[in-house]
Chain A
Amino acid sequence: MISLNLKIFLLVVTLFYFFMVFKAIKKGTMPIKSSVLWLFFGILMLLLIGFPEFLVKIASLVGIKTISNLLLFGAVLALLVLAFDLYKINNIEKRKNVTLAQEIGIIKHELNKKK
């Protein structure tokens, strides 16, 4: 059901993905703690390339007619969760940023008074 050509192509893409993740960890741009999630995505991709029959079962189980629809749905869902998570993180950082700016303003005012 999945041609050898396609399998090789997907494998190359996945390997490239792993390469990117490991490079980021090595460079320190990705903390080990959050790398677990990204590695998990990679492993999931490998599993699906190795055992595509699994997808057929899930698709029929939830009532989705074609595998491509299931994959698209899954990908969109994963990205949505990710975007939501990033949005939350961004807001937490924004709050910290505001607090810092407020304190800097007050400290600057104190310093100017002493001059």
Chain B
Amino acid sequence: MKKKILIIIPAYNEEANIVKTVNSIKNFKKKKLDYIVINDGSTDNTKKVMMENNIDFIDLPFNLGIGAAVQTGYKYAFYNDYDIVIQFDGDGQHDINSVEKLIKPVADGEADMAIGSRYIDDTSSFKSTFSRRVGIKVISSLIHLLSKKKIKDVTSGYRAVNRKIIEVFANNYPYDFPEPITNYALLKMGFKVKEVGANMFEREGGISSIRALKSAYYMFNVCLSILLFNPKRFKGGIK
């Protein structure tokens, strides 16, 4: 049986990038893929631009933040019986040409979730800024320490998951720092997670001290969330 695949694209004030991002999916020749954009209460012209370009989107009544916006997509996928969901950024950071590599292990049953990784091989030449890389290393090491499993690109938002995880996420998804926390949660719950090389593009250049501080703050928060994580709260199944 053919698997039903959905791409979830959260978008908050992405008027400049969203059409390009969605067109890259629409024009992807190798595989026909459904998509849904989640407009997370954008205050710019994102909604108008999407209507003009005939883009299918869910319009949230106000801004919920990245975690809740992505979860909306998982709920939609759960209600509409999708077999595989792919998370894809609305800002054009992710390369659609890596999508088949991401789908394959999940479709073959080799893994419950595949993470598109910048660090596992040389697929991506862009490896993020220095301060962010340090943060990712620390979080990755902590997860390794606690779960005995290694995920290198632990903050990657380019991921493919199967039906079981769609159900878990539809029911319970963290609002803050969702990627590293769910990665750890799934490992703790015994799901199979696999990293595959994926290409990503750089968003913008320049390193500021504020960004370094932000990375440190982010890292501290994520580590705390992981240390205080309670797997009992995360048990799946739609109520």
Contact = CB atoms under 8 A, between A and B. Distances in A.
B216 interface: no
Interface string A78-115: 00000000000000000000100111111011000000
B79 A101 contact: no
A103 B74 CA distance: 11
A106 B62 contact: no
A109 B71 CA distance: 15
A101 B75 contact: no
Interface stretch (B53-61, B120-128, B195-203): B53-61
A96 B38 CA distance: 19
A101 B59 contact: no
B62 A101 contact: yes
Interface in B58-102: 58-62, 64, 68, 71-72, 75-76, 79
A97 to B, nearest CB: 9
B175 interface: yes
Contact of B64 (A102, A106, A108, A109): A102
B68 A108 contact: no
A108 B36 CA distance: 14
Nearest to A113: B56
B1 to A, nearest CB: 24
Contacts of B61: 101, 104-105
A104 B71 CA distance: 13
Contacts of B71: 102
Interface in A41-83: none
Given A98-B175, A101-B61, A101-B62, A106 B79 contact: yes
A109 B39 CA distance: 11
B76 A101 contact: no
B58 A101 contact: no
A85 B58 CA distance: 35
Interface in B7-28: none
A31 B75 CA distance: 34
Contacts of A98: 64, 68, 175
Interface string A15-48: 0000000000000000000000000000000000
Nearest to B56: A109
A16 B32 CA distance: 70
A98 B178 CA distance: 15
Given A98-B175, A101-B64, A102-B71, A109 B59 contact: yes
Interface of A: 98, 101-106, 108-109
- 5 tightest A-B contacts by CB? A102-B72, A105-B60, A105-B58, A109-B58, A98-B68
Given A102-B64, A105-B38, 16 more contacts: A98-B64, A98-B68, A98-B175, A101-B68, A102-B60, A102-B71, A102-B75, A104-B60, A104-B61, A105-B58, A105-B59, A106-B76, A106-B79, A108-B58, A109-B58, A109-B76
14 contacts: A98-B175, A101-B61, A101-B62, A101-B68, A102-B60, A102-B64, A102-B72, A104-B61, A105-B38, A105-B59, A105-B60, A106-B72, A106-B79, A108-B59
